[in-house]
Chain A
Amino acid sequence: MKSPRFIPVVLLLLLAACSSEQPKTPTVAASPTTQVAALDDSPTMPTPLPTVAPPASSTPLPTVESIAESTAIADVATHTPQPTPTSAPEPLPVISGQIAEGAFFLGAPDAPVTVIDYSDFL
């Protein structure tokens, strides 16, 4: 039969065990500016996240009134804007004419490639 003196001691031991239980800190990938949190039993402060500088200029959040106004105006266009399909560039206009030296040409004047056909009709 146990002595009543042992019961408080057991309780004390239980309380001590509960207080030493630490949450597991996730490991953080090592970087030059951050320290990897070590997994140990000693209580440690969580690794602070690197601060992110706010953008140079930030667009103010719309007020409740402006949202109401924009909603009223935008009643016509409530659909989600779709990306504009890219279309093939229009071909350059094909014409005929004379170059400065007097020879005749056929094709777009700004065509990327010029071909000179040196030919005799005979």
Chain B
Amino acid sequence: MLGTEPQIVQEYVNSGKVKLIFWPVLNHNDPSVYATLTAHCVGRQDPDKFWDVHEMLFTNQSDLWRADRDYFVNTAVAAGADRAAFELCYDDPTALEEVLSLDAIRKQRGIAGQPMFDIAGTVYGGAPPYESFAEVLDFALQAAAE
């Protein structure tokens, strides 16, 4: 689920206050891996399109459990990615390794579940309401300004 992310992007990211990093967590085997690989390969072509595919994948989350290669290729094309270039990346072991390495790093950081949010160095678990996020972000922004 996208949860409160759209609001955070609108209120804090677009205004330049917050830089948002999406760090993949691959806790659901192949569906997690290849959904993340899809977003990763689209992002390689155009980082802006990463966030388009990011939204598409979360919106159609229920489809991902049974999604196959064709599904992910069609998703990438629907997001505006070049089909041939996407398929090259999707089938490239190097790209897969990049995605798996990100997952390994988050494990090293002690991130076990999802979603988890590292806000200015402090990790919060769960999906709290937007107001709770805003409160923490405002506090972090105030601390950063001092």
Contacts and interface: CB of A to CB of B under 8 A. Distances in A.
Contact of A115 (B19, B47, B57, B144): B19
B89 interface: no
Interface in A38-77: none
Interface residues of B, number: 55
B137 interface: yes
A56 to B, nearest CB: 36
A24 B84 CA distance: 102
B75 to A, nearest CB: 11
A102 B99 CA distance: 8
Secondary structure at chain B's binding surface: helix, strand, loop or mixed?
helix
Interface string B78-109: 00000000000000000000100110011000
A117 B28 CA distance: 17
Interface stretch (A7-15, A25-33, A78-86, A91-99): A91-99
A18 interface: no
Contacts of A95: 47
Contacts of A93: 16
Interface in B49-64: 50-51, 54, 57-58, 61, 64
A17 interface: no
A104 B43 CA distance: 8
Given A101-B102, A113-B144, A122-B65, A107 B35 contact: no
Contacts of B32: 120-122
A113 B21 contact: no
Contacts of B17: 111-113
A114 B19 contact: yes
Contacts of A106: 9, 13, 19-20, 22, 51
5 contacts: A102-B40, A104-B51, A106-B19, A109-B19, A118-B117
Interface of A: 91-99, 101-109, 111-122
